[in-house]
Structure formats: C-alpha cells, structure tokens
Amino acid sequence: MMKKKILALALVLMAGAMQMQAQMSLVNPTPQRVEATAQGWMPLPTAWNVVTDKARTGSYAVAALAESGIEVSGEAPLRVVLGVKGDKCVKKYAKRIPAQAEGYYLHISEKGIVVAGADERGLYYGVQTLLASMAEGKLQPCTVTDWPDVAFRGVVEGFYGTPWSQEARLSQLDFYGKYKMNVYIYGPKDDPYHRDKWRVEYPEAEAKKLQVLLERAKMRGVNFYWAIHPGVDIKWTTEDRDALMAKLEKMYQLGVRSFAVFFDDIWGEGAKADKQAELLNYVDANFVQKKHDVAPLVLCPTIYNRAWSGNGDKYLLTLGENLNKGIEVMWTGNSVVHCIDRESMEWINDRIKRKGYIWWNYPVSDYVRDHILLGPTYGNGLDIAPLLSGFVSNPMEHAEASKISLYSIADYTWNMKHYDQKTSWERAIRAMYPDDPGMQNVLRTFAVYNEDLGPNGHGFRREESRHLKEAAAKAVEGNGEAIETIAGECLKLMMACNQLMTDKKNPALRRELYPWLAQGKLVAEYGTFVCAMAVMAKDMPVDKFSNIYNNARSLQEQMYDLENSNLRHPLQPGIKVGTGLLLPTLNKIFANAVNKYNTANSTEFDPVAEFQPFTLESNVEQLKLLPVKAQGGDVSVTPALEVITWPADGQFTIKSERPVTLAGMDFDFGAPRTAELFKLEVFDGTNWREVSLLHYNADETTIHTGNELGGMKAQAIRISNKSGKEQKLYFKRFKFVKQ
C-alpha cells in the first residue's frame, strides 16, 4: 500500500513538473527558479486591478503591463500588485525578492498576482515573465524567483556595412526589453558621426532620430550606449581631447547616459595604450563622475583579442595598470571571432585587472556576406558568468534575422548553467512566428541549411544540417533509400522557400531572407533532378538521361547567375545556401551518377559539378584562410575587416590550376604610399617576373600595376612585403581580371 501511495505521489509531482515546464517554455530567458504552487490552470483575466505605490508613477514596468491589452480597472476581481523593494505595497514580500540587481519575485495564484522587483528594471522583467507565461491564454499558479547571471547583456551594433534602419532599431529595442537584455551599444562603423566625423555633431534630423531611439530604450529598460571612434585620426592634444569631450556633451544633451570609446581596427598613433588610458581616465574623471547619472565608461581596445597580444602583452598590461577601475574593457576572445571559455577569461582578466566585457562576434556576417546565419547559438562556456562584467553580441546587418541568435544570447547570459542551445534555438524559431506553427516549421526547415559560414579568414565554422549527416554519407555511397531521403529534404526546402517568399506576417524577415530564399529554391530544385539521376540512371535511355542532366546543369548555371545578379551584396558578392552539407552532397551524387552512367553507356557527359581553379597560400596569419572567388573574368580575395600585421617576409600567393592571361589588376591596403612597400611577381610556369606597382596620385590608397601586366600568362601571382620591417595595413580589396 505504501509503495502505491509513493508511486501516486510521484506521478502527481511529475504531472505538476510537466505542466510547469510547458508554461515556462513560453518564457525567455529561462528563469532561475520556478515552483508550482497548485495544480491546474487559471483562466486569463479580462481585467487587472493594479495596485502600486506613488513611487511607481511613470514607471515603464507598470506601463508594460498596460501595453498587454488587458483592461486595467479598480473593479476587476484579480488584484495585481506591482512594486520595487522598499515600496509599501510589496513590503511583506521583501525577504523573497532576490538581492541581485534586476532580480524579481513573481507569485501567481487565484487570489492575485504579485510582481516585486529588486529595482525598477527587475520589476519590468517580472512583468515580462508574467506576460510571456500567459501567451497561450491561461496562467499556471506558481512562484518565480529570478535574476541575471551577467550584469550587462545585449547587443553592439558594430558591424561593417549598411547600418540598421530606424525602424529596425526600434524593433530591436522592443525585442531587448521583452527578453531582458539591458544593453544596446550604438557603434555602426559606417555612421560617419561615430567614426570618420567624430568631432562633428549630428545634423538636426539625425539627432532627432537618436532621441526617438533613446526614449524607446528608456521605456524598455535598455542602457543606450553611444560609442565614439576617434582612433583613425586622433591627435593626443588638448584640442582633440576637448573636441571629444564636446561631442560627448552634445550627446548627453540629446539624452545619452551611457558612453563607449572605440579604438578597434586601427594602427599608428591612435593605438597607443598609455594615451588611450590617459584619455579614458580624463573622460571618466571629468565627465562620467561629474554627471552622477552616467553609466560606467566602456572601452573597446585596439588589441581586443588574444591572437594579437604578442610583445609580452605590453599593451594589455598598460591598460590594466593605468585605466581607472570603473572603466569596462571589451574583449572578443582568443581571436577576432572565437567562442569564450573559462581559461581565456582568466587569461584576459589577469592582464586588464578587471572582469572582461565580451564583444562576441556572432552572428555578425560582415566577413561572410554571402551567407546568412540562422542556426543555434553555442560554443561559449557555461561556467564563465562570474568572470564577466558584460556580454554583448555583434549581429548581422540583417536585423530581423539576427533575432534568432539574439533570442538565445538573452537566454545564455541570463541563466548560463541551464542554457541548452537546441531548446533555445527551437524557442527562437517559434518566437519569429509566435501564432503560426506552420510558418515556424518552414522557417526551421530553411534555417538548418543556413548555419555554417563557409570558408572564411577567421576559420570560424558552424555545424550545418545535423539531421542529414548519416543520410548524406550513405547517399554519396549510392544507397537508394538515403538518396530518396535527400530528395525528400530537397522537396521540403523548396516548399519552405516558396512559403517564406510570399509570407505577409513578418515582411522584414522576408525582405532580408529573399536572396537566400531564391538561392535555396534553386538548390532544392537542383537536388530533385540530381537525386532522380542517381536513382533512375542505370535504366534510363540516353535522351531521357540527357534531359534530366541538362536540367541539373541549367540549375547549376542559374545558381551561379543568381550569385552575380543584382540581389547580391555590393561589397561581397555571392549568395550561399546549404554549402555546409547539402550542396556538396548533391554535387557528389551528381558526379557519381554521371560517371556511373558514362561507364554503363559509353557516353561523355561532364561530371564536374563545381570547379574552383584558384587557391591562396600565405605566411601572413590573417590572410591564409581568406577565400578566393572567381566570377566571370574577375578573380578576387575576400577582404579582411581588421588591421593586418604583415611580417617583414610576409607574402601571399594565388595559384591557378591552369595558366590564365591577365588583363588587369588592382588592390587596396587602406593607406596611401604603400605601393613602394610591396613587390608583385607573376609566375608564367617557368619564371617569376616582377611587375611594377604605383599610385595614380599621392593620396590614393588603390595600388595599380604597370602596363606590362596586360597580356601576361600567369599560373601564380605573389605579393610580398619588401620593406624589410613589419607593416600594419588593411586588406580592403584584391582583384585581378583574366581574359
């Protein structure tokens, strides 16, 4: 009898836990502690009887509850108490409120609801949890005790390329508030008043746009950090120091209360650690501390990753010793694009004498613009929260599509130990279409073919199409059942692309995804024909095989043409879908099917599905992984965005599988008078021949070649640093044209 009672009790507890899990799966980030207080569900109230103290007058947390659409009425039967620790209305719950900043206590019962925050933002987050938990039209009686693991969590708009629109930024700020991210750092590289014209105040129209953003950020509990980037041309003079202070004061008058100073991706005079520390300390002492309402200053240093530290860590140690203790220091990890672990955090914290503030370069795609990144967010340590002062993600220029990753960034930084990348990604997909399971399914289908970044200069890759790995391997070996599985997946991808291309519920996402949807549809159609070739080839007459083969070839050409169409990104051509697994698998199936048919039928169909005739080799660490792309007669190397350190013997060589005839060449290392530092040589298959380099005028950064280049036969091209000393330059463009 006792065993039966224990079993019955266990089943009741399990049922309660399952209900609780179902309810909390609607809440992001995952709460720290949840306790079910009763069985069953409560109906969603039609009106709130909201009780607050006068101290909450004008509270954005209370306003957020009103925005839910549920009527607020003093006559409503359900009493909702909202307060911050110290408010009279939540006095009896004071001991239940977490001591951590931004923490909250939430209690839901049929007798009423209590939301009590450790501070105003904590109250706001408690309201967000309440609203999220009732998204399916019902409430579960429970108690939630919750707080963030990381103090500063959010986003840095710090990518190269087209900055986000005003509409996109407003949508982002709403998103941050909903999912408990408290930082937005405004630092788009292509905003001239942030970087190139940092001394100049914003024109009136642009200033008004920023004020609108600042007001929205305030209503969403977000610290709006405005970043200034003076390092490109700063002079360590009183005049420039005062110009920077004047610009900060102008931004303060607009309403900014959080500031960052960036010195990333520069070299030369602006990159001196002692001068940077001196300037930041002056700003801290004479601006931040004197204002009394300004958040801690944030610095993005010049050496912002471990791979560049070198030189006995002198730069980092200088910052650590000299910077005022209240100044935050940003860090990208062991390299420019890298996941963060405990060892790497201990390494940097020891040098900068404070907890590092992570700038995570994901899902940013400014160095792989031919890809869009929609996969799970993973790779960072789950035990590093105590070692961080902040964690912000650098997103894609595609603001809406970035929300898939940012949803999980919010989850990860709030509650690391309970973070599960797969579950979080599934919830993120649902959040993009919260009321439409059908569109959730098609977005999920499309997203799994847009996870990997492809070959890139940072060597950062993601696993793609995990569900297809086993079938793909068997399909390449000729397994018929596996080939049919691949064909079925191609059909699903085709249907997903069709539906997303005509979606009306999320037009911003549709607009951003459109080039990749068009390419994904072509990849799927190609896969359908390729799989048909593989399954039916041995019994097919030549004319029918030729018809399917020609369709597959046509789709290969269409994919190539689309990459070169006006849909491509102007700064980095290309539109890639499924390159991590699906497309390479289809190309192998194609080649195998054609070879098999040729052998059986003595035909000569061309089995080559993809041909890359050019490769790059380099002893410059930051260049050796850059992809080479051939499109028509143009052959180019993908540009690098950060400063390149060329050692004295640094060189890179592009090799061609077969000789080509050169028609022209130019490249850009981002600085004038650099032609004299480098040597260009062309290998004709027998000898290396030097080609002269020049600038057309003294201020030009583009390097041109002498007239002798035209008509040269080339099997390899080599560029070497001949200056005899290390050079720090950009790598903005390299292209040659073949006849």
Residues 240-262: b if buried by 16+ CB within 10 A, e if exposed: bbebbeebbeebbebbbbbbbbb
How far apart, in whole angstroms, are the C-alpha atoms of residue 362 and residue 412?
13
Q: For residue 700, give the CATH number of its domain.
A: 2.60.120.260
Q: Do the Cβ atoms of 489 and 582 come closer than 8 Å?
A: yes
DSSP assigned state of 685: S
Q: What is the pLDDT of residue 399?
A: 98
Shared domain for 393 and 271, answered yes or no, is yes
**What's the alpha-carbon Rg for the chain, to the nearest Å?**
29
Shared domain for 225 and 100, answered yes or no, is no
Return all residues near 388 (Cβ < 8 A) that are at least 6 apart: 150, 345, 355, 356, 357, 358
- The distance in angstroms from the start CA to the end CA of the chain is 90
How far apart, in whole angstroms, are the C-alpha atoms of residue 571 and residue 636?
12
Q: Tell whether 371 is covered by a domain.
A: no
Q: Do the Cβ atoms of 190 and 160 come closer than 8 Å?
A: yes
Shared domain for 8 and 137, answered yes or no, is yes
Q: What is the pLDDT of residues 41-61, one digit of tens each?
A: 888 888 999 999 999 999 999
Which of 95, 130, 146 is at the close of a domain? 146
Shared domain for 174 and 133, answered yes or no, is no
Q: What is the pLDDT of residues 512-554, one digit of tens each?
A: 999 999 999 999 999 999 999 998 877 789 999 999 999 999 9
Task: Please name the residue that has the structure tokens 């019994």.
Answer: 539
Shared domain for 562 and 622, answered yes or no, is no
Count CB atoms within 10 A of the CB of residue 461.
13
**pLDDT reading at 15 higher than 90:** no
Shared domain for 163 and 248, answered yes or no, is yes
**pLDDT reading at 635 higher than 60:** yes
Q: Tell whether 22 is covered by a domain.
A: yes
For residue 92, count CB atoms less than 10 angstroms from its CB and return exposed for 0-12, middle for 13-18, buried for 19 or more.
Answer: exposed
Instruction: Look at the chain and count its residues.
Output: 739
Q: Do the Cβ atoms of 213 and 258 come closer than 8 Å?
A: no
For residue 662, the SS3 value is: strand
CA distances from 734 to 41, 222, 718 (A): 63, 41, 12
Which of 125, 146, 167 is at the close of a domain? 146
Quickly state the pLDDT bin for 19 (edges 50, 70, 90). very low
Quickly state the pLDDT bin for 569 (edges 50, 70, 90). low
Return all residues near 319 (Cβ < 8 A) that are at least 6 apart: 273, 276, 277, 299, 301, 329, 352
Q: What is the pLDDT of residue 21?
A: 52
Q: For residue 549, give the CATH number of its domain.
A: 1.20.58.460
Q: Do the Cβ atoms of 608 and 438 come closer than 8 Å?
A: no
Q: Do the Cβ atoms of 584 and 419 come closer than 8 Å?
A: no
Percent of the chain with pLDDT over 90: 83
**pLDDT reading at 158 higher than 60:** yes
Return all residues near 4 (Cβ < 8 A) that are at least 6 apart: none
What mean pLDDT is predicted for residues 186-202? 93
For residue 515, say if its preceding peptide bond is cis, omega within 30 degrees of 0: no
Q: What is the pLDDT of residues 420-457, one digit of tens each?
A: 999 999 999 999 999 899 999 999 999 999 999 999 99
What mean pLDDT is predicted for residues 659-680? 93
What mean pLDDT is predicted for residues 562-583? 83
Shared domain for 560 and 671, answered yes or no, is no
Examine the residue annotation and report whether 265 is marked as an active-site residue of this protein. yes
Mean pLDDT, the chain, integer: 93
Q: For residue 26, give the CATH number of its domain.
A: 3.30.379.10
**pLDDT reading at 386 higher than 70:** yes
Q: What does the block give as tokens for 25? A: 């799966």
Look at residues 457, 542, 392, 485 and name the one whose alpha carbon lies nearest to residue 730: 457
Q: Tell whether 453 is covered by a domain.
A: no
**pLDDT reading at 8 higher than 50:** no
Q: Do the Cβ atoms of 202 and 226 come closer than 8 Å?
A: no
**pLDDT reading at 674 higher than 90:** yes
What mean pLDDT is predicted for residues 339-343? 98
Shared domain for 190 and 97, answered yes or no, is no
Please count the structural domains in the chain: 4
Count CB atoms within 10 A of the CB of residue 146.
25
Quickly state the pLDDT bin for 138 (edges 50, 70, 90). confident
Q: How far is CA 150 from the centre of its chain?
A: 19
Quickly state the pLDDT bin for 68 (edges 50, 70, 90). confident
Return the sign of the alpha-carbon dihedral for residues 191, 197, 198, 203: negative
Q: Tell whether 562 is covered by a domain.
A: yes
Q: Do the Cβ atoms of 30 and 428 come closer than 8 Å?
A: no
Look at residues 83, 112, 113, 98 and name the one whose alpha carbon lies nearest to residue 31: 98
**pLDDT reading at 612 higher than 80:** no
**pLDDT reading at 142 higher than 50:** yes
Return the sign of the alpha-carbon dihedral for residues 21, 130, 125, 406: positive
Shared domain for 473 and 564, answered yes or no, is yes
Q: What is the pLDDT of residues 102-133, one digit of tens each?
A: 999 999 999 999 999 999 999 999 999 999 99
Count CB atoms within 10 A of the CB of residue 598.
15
Shared domain for 336 and 267, answered yes or no, is yes
**pLDDT reading at 2 higher than 70:** no
**pLDDT reading at 600 higher than 70:** yes
Where is pLDDT greater, at 719 or 630? Answer: 719
Return the sign of the alpha-carbon dihedral for residues 523, 525, 527, 533: negative
Q: What is the pLDDT of residues 312-337, one digit of tens each?
A: 689 999 999 999 999 999 999 999 99
Quickly state the pLDDT bin for 571 (edges 50, 70, 90). low
Count CA atoms closer than 13 A to 507's CA, side-chain side: 2
**pLDDT reading at 367 higher than 90:** yes
Q: Do the Cβ atoms of 576 and 524 come closer than 8 Å?
A: no
Q: Do the Cβ atoms of 483 and 537 come closer than 8 Å?
A: no
Q: Which amino acid is at 668?
A: D
Shared domain for 195 and 304, answered yes or no, is yes
For residue 363, say if its preceding peptide bond is cis, omega within 30 degrees of 0: yes
DSSP assigned state of 203: P
How far apart, in whole angstroms, are the C-alpha atoms of residue 449 and residue 362?
17
DSSP assigned state of 569: B
Q: How far is CA 200 from the centre of its chain?
A: 30
381 — alpha (psi -120 to 50), left (phi > 0) or beta? beta
Q: For residue 315, give the CATH number of its domain.
A: 3.20.20.80
Look at residues 281, 269, 260 and name the one whose alpha carbon lies nearest to residue 231: 269
Per the residue annotation, which of 119, 149, 265, 452 is the catalytic one?
Answer: 265
Q: What is the pLDDT of residue 22?
A: 47
Which of 117, 146, 175 is at the close of a domain? 146
Return all residues near 468 (Cβ < 8 A) that are at least 6 apart: 485, 486, 489, 581, 582, 585
Return the sign of the alpha-carbon dihedral for residues 253, 259, 265, 268: positive
Where is pLDDT greater, at 22 or 183? Answer: 183
Q: Tell whether 430 is covered by a domain.
A: no
Q: What does the block give as tokens for 624? A: 């050796």
Shared domain for 229 and 312, answered yes or no, is yes
φ/ψ of residue 682, rounded to 5: -120, 130
**pLDDT reading at 712 higher than 70:** yes
How far apart, in whole angstroms, are the C-alpha atoms of residue 193 and residue 156?
17
pTM, full prediction: 0.91
How far apart, in whole angstroms, are the C-alpha atoms of residue 77 and residue 93?
21
Task: Please name the residue that has the structure tokens 């970043």.
Answer: 227
Q: What is the pLDDT of residue 259?
A: 98
Q: Tell whether 376 is covered by a domain.
A: no
Q: Tell whether 409 is covered by a domain.
A: no
Residue 77 belongs to what domain range? 2-146
Q: Tell whether 443 is covered by a domain.
A: no
Return all residues near 644 (Cβ < 8 A) that are at least 6 apart: 620, 622, 623, 669, 728, 729, 730, 731
Q: Which amino acid is at 547?
A: N
